[in-house]
A and B are shown apart, each in its own frame.
Chain A
Amino acid sequence: MRESNLLTQCRQALELARERGADGIEVFGQTTRNLTSTIEKNDLQISKSRQETRIGVRAFLGDRVGFASTNDLTKLEDAATDAVILAKASPGDPHNVLPEPNGTPSVDGVYDPTAESFTTEDAVRYAIRMLEFARSMDSRVIVGDGEFSAEIQQRAVVNSSGFEVEERGSTFTYYLLTTAKEGERVSNFDFQFGASRIVSEIDVEPVTRRACENALGSLGAEKGESFKGQILLTPSAVHQILEPVLTQINARNVLRGMSRWKDSIGTAVAAPSLTWVDDGRLPGGIATSSFDREGVPHQRLTVIESGILRSFLHNTYTAHAFRIANTGHAIGSAGSLPGIGPTNLMILPGDLSKDALVSEIKQGLLVSRFSGNSDPISGDFSGVAKGAHLIKNGKIARPVSGSLIAGNVFEALKNLSGISKERERVFNFIYPYLRLKDVSVTAE
């Protein structure tokens, strides 16, 4: 491998921390080049470029740790000094350890060399494509907000056990926030997101089409009906309502006693139809890369298998505390200490189509977006169903507004009554439509 500047800078920071007395050191370096073209109210808004190198130094003094970062490469000494001072002032913790050196198998499809020649003009061209496509669909649609962004990122981890990894990645992301307006009537807004890792797979049209259709579909919404029954969540709504699950599967929260699933490994936490997988090596995944924030290899991990909780997400700290193998879920930038989080988190698809799931509902509600609270601890959720449609006798009947939905996420997971075949990407989550039963729907 050709020596990069980033690796050299990381090694330099490591030496500086060693000179200041650190006996264990990890340096995470990140270089980002970003080109973004933004959209506002049916027009281009602004084009932006950004270039930054950030170096984060984690210094260990025995089991004490301190962290400092800088984007000013003339201040590497200050960062190394601050990290050591913070370590000295901090109480120890036996689980503050560095990962063991480990081979890091590379992963394909995360870097497209042609991304290097991507220009501001190219970003603008895709943004214009989104606008033109939306306009061609329906003149009542307003793209209130949107963005096309191209990013090349170089990441490197160097630690005092002699461990060095480096990888380059390219990511293209795009989103739209749409409303539809007809006379005085304004729909709820809809949000759609898309992404690709390589230039030839950028496709802004399906995302734009969905954002337009959903905004138009919620025009003319009127008061709904109150009932207790089935609701069908779109992948976006699944992401919003099921967010408390992320709190439970984070091993750090388990250690803190904040996960209600702390004693639930091997037991049923969801309906047998539900399998939840995290895959940091997923081809084309937005969170795909060969190693995590600590340089530990990414892998495919089954979190919930047929309703049974199989594993939490770990970084080096929690894996040491639990005395189990690290799952490679350290996340974070060079500006922060390693945290824990999912990579590409997926619910595996079910057998029925979305339409088939609708056809089995006598009285229910299709929820496109959720605006409210989903309590990470109790799992109680309560909020307004946005872009909602009343379902009657197996058919989507009419758009409704102001319907409040309330229930409990953990009960809902067990009461799951259907999973769609179709799945959509919502940031780094790939979710199907989910049908829940026994949910309170209140029409306001």
Chain B
Amino acid sequence: MQKLLERIVAGSSGWIELRYQARSSKRLTARNGKLEESSSTLLAGLGARALIDGVFGFASTTDLSEKGVRNVVEAAQCAARTSSGAKKERMTGLADAPLARGTFPVVTDDPLDRHSLEEKLDLVLRTDARVRTGAREIVSSTVTYSEFQDEKIIVTSDGASATIFDAKPDFMVLAVAERNGDQTMGYESAGVTGGWSDLFAVRTSEEISERAVRLAVEQLSAPHPAGGTSVVILHPSLVGILCHEAIGHTVEADLVLGGAVTADKIGKIVASERITLCDSGLTEFAPHAVGILPVDDEGVMSQRTVIIEKGVLRSYLHNRETAAHYGVAPTGNARAFVYSDNPIIRMRNTYIESGDTPVEELIGGVKTGYYLRGLGMSGQADSNAEFMFGVREARKITDGKIGELVRGVTISGNAFEVLKSADALGDDFAWDHSAGHCGKGQAAKVDAGGPHLRCKLTIGGRQA
């Protein structure tokens, strides 16, 4: 296939990019003692992007014959030509970048294929049973294991020619508890880039399910908090959510050009000087972070991009088009989830670098406040960095000690203001975006994390 793509690209006029992808995925869901889903998916297809008169066109197909490939190249060129007549803004060109050549394998000692379907089915059924018998208040349990394995070939007319392998499994547990008609949920998950044992390296499946059960049951007797501004300690999971959802999207260069709040802020102070915030496709800290991406979907080699350095905004996240617009180097953030998706700017692993305060000291310094961990069932953030997140687990802090659980907590504010209010960062670090996807018209597997962080934000409770 690589040879065919190279030949067709070499014979085409103008700039062209071909991206072949074969994906094999599995999804197994057990719910309340039944196997609700056991499915396998085999996808193969080709995405083609053409650049004519400074305008892109994109087409995709499942016809992988030589004729099919030629047709899709023509469709992409036709799409580019058609809109080039009416598009106001044209690209001056694509920024130069280190383009990938060669083969990029998945790094793991324990490939997913070494584990049988039966073993994976057993995991979800066993975990489901464990959740249901975990406490008498549990009325429902859902356990999902899913994985995908990709082979991608990216060939561009300006020199990229790479084969990239990827494997990303994840695992999710949802427990529902009930007492006197009142229902609460506990949700926990894990997700990695890599193999089977990597998925459970931080927490075993038993630890994950026990935590979900405990959280669901404990919430039944938890009060709602009073709303208002509060000092909080954010667990790395919420630091990650803040980095990704509320800051990260506002520095995606396409959204910056679309009017995000960070426009004209490069070189300006946007956060506390304690904050250094990065996005990286490399493997620092954790070799199995979900968003690992050795080569992006434009064939650009991955890197670590410093977005905020000691409080100062240093860089947006770029593809080759926006990098040319800003006169900078691409950051390797062009991603497409499947062959039929056009590559767009996406995050990879987004995080705040650790500080130097022991976590106990962070918490010890709070007279009254909250300890907040994990994203609840939903959340939303705008391009002006205003956010609103449900919190999975919120506990009161009184005189430096973590105390009772409160339920139904939401946090809101402006992410940059929150980061300006950060007065201490923990000396720890964790990736914790776990399972699930980031959505921006198409899915992407990402990770996010950081240390524990102390800051101020608005707690929304339910008024009695």
Q: Which A residues form the contact surface with B (CB < 8 A)?
A: 37, 40-44, 46-53, 65-73, 75, 78-79, 82-83, 85-87, 89-91, 93, 120-121, 124, 128, 142, 144-145, 179, 181, 186, 188-189, 228, 256-258, 260, 335-337, 371-378, 380, 382-384, 386, 404, 406, 440, 442, 444
Contact = CB atoms under 8 A, between A and B. Distances in A.
B86 A124 contact: yes
Contact of B121 (A79, A90, A188): A90
A43 B82 contact: no
Given A52-B45, A82-B40, A382-B462, A372 B408 contact: no
A89 B38 CA distance: 9
A144 B176 contact: no
B13 interface: no
A91 B227 CA distance: 47
Nearest to A377: B183
A78 B62 CA distance: 17
Contacts of B257: 40-41
B185 A377 contact: yes
18 contacts: A46-B342, A47-B57, A48-B58, A65-B38, A69-B42, A86-B40, A89-B117, A89-B121, A90-B35, A120-B79, A144-B258, A144-B259, A337-B39, A382-B410, A382-B462, A383-B410, A383-B460, A440-B462
A256 B31 contact: yes
A378 B39 contact: no
B39 A89 contact: no
Given A72-B43, A124-B86, A378-B182, 11 more contacts: A46-B83, A51-B63, A66-B38, A67-B39, A69-B39, A144-B383, A145-B258, A188-B382, A260-B183, A337-B39, A373-B377
A332 to B, nearest CB: 11
A391 to B, nearest CB: 20
A44 B87 contact: yes
Interface in B359-417: 376-380, 382-384, 386, 388, 390, 408, 410, 412
Interface in B52-66: 55-64
A71 B376 contact: no
B41 A256 contact: no
Interface in B309-344: 340, 342
Given A69-B41, A90-B35, A144-B259, A48 B342 contact: yes
Contact of B184 (A69, A89, A378): A378
Contacts of A51: 60-63
B228 to A, nearest CB: 9
B440 to A, nearest CB: 10
Interface string B252-284: 001001110100000000000000000000000
B455 interface: no
Nearest to B174: A258
User: Most A CB atoms within 10 A — which of B55, B76, B78, B183?
Assistant: B183
Contacts of B39: 66-69, 86, 336-337
Nearest to A119: B82
A189 B421 CA distance: 26
Contact of A372 (B42, B56, B410): B410
Contacts of B60: 48-52
A86 B412 contact: no
Nearest to B229: A444
Contacts of A256: 31-32, 140
Nearest to A79: B42
Contacts of B139: 257-258
A189 B408 contact: no
A42 B87 CA distance: 10
B34 interface: yes
B74 to A, nearest CB: 10
B109 interface: no
A230 B300 CA distance: 54
B382 A43 contact: no
Nearest to A83: B40
Contacts of A373: 376-379, 388, 390, 410
B410 A120 contact: no
A86 B35 CA distance: 11
Contacts of B176: 257-258, 377
Contacts of A382: 408, 410, 460-462
B89 interface: yes
Nearest to A258: B140
User: Most A CB atoms within 10 A — which of B62, B64, B125?
Assistant: B62
B384 A186 contact: yes
A442 B62 contact: no
A404 B261 CA distance: 22
Give the top 5 A-B pairs by smallest Cβ distance, nearest first. A47-B79, A373-B390, A82-B40, A440-B463, A68-B40
B151 to A, nearest CB: 13
B97 interface: no
User: Most B CB atoms within 10 A — which of A40, A228, A371?
Assistant: A371
Contacts of A87: 38
Contacts of B458: 444
Contacts of B43: 70-72
A391 B419 CA distance: 34
B136 interface: no
B459 to A, nearest CB: 10
B57 A46 contact: yes
Contact of B34 (A44, A73, A91, A444): A91
Nearest to B118: A89
B379 to A, nearest CB: 8
B44 interface: yes
A319 B37 CA distance: 18
Contacts of A179: 259, 383
Given A46-B58, A48-B59, A189 B79 contact: no
Nearest to B38: A86
Given A75-B42, A89-B117, A382-B410, A43 B58 contact: no
Contacts of A69: 39-42
B394 to A, nearest CB: 13
A43 B87 contact: yes
A91 B129 CA distance: 13
A71 B62 CA distance: 7
Nearest to A40: B258
A147 B34 CA distance: 41
B82 A124 contact: yes
A178 to B, nearest CB: 10
Contacts of B57: 46-48
A432 to B, nearest CB: 24
A228 B40 contact: no
Contact of A46 (B79, B117, B258, B383): B79
A124 B87 CA distance: 10
Contacts of A121: 82
Nearest to A375: B377
A66 B83 CA distance: 44
Nearest to A179: B259
Nearest to A78: B42
B308 interface: no
Contacts of A83: 40
User: Most B CB atoms within 10 A — which of A144, A376, A382?
Assistant: A382
Given A86-B117, A91-B125, A41 B40 contact: no
B380 A372 contact: yes
A73 B261 CA distance: 47
A124 B269 CA distance: 41
B425 interface: no
A47 B61 contact: no
Contacts of A406: 460-463
A44 B410 contact: no
A43 B31 contact: no
A379 to B, nearest CB: 10
Contacts of A71: 42-45, 62
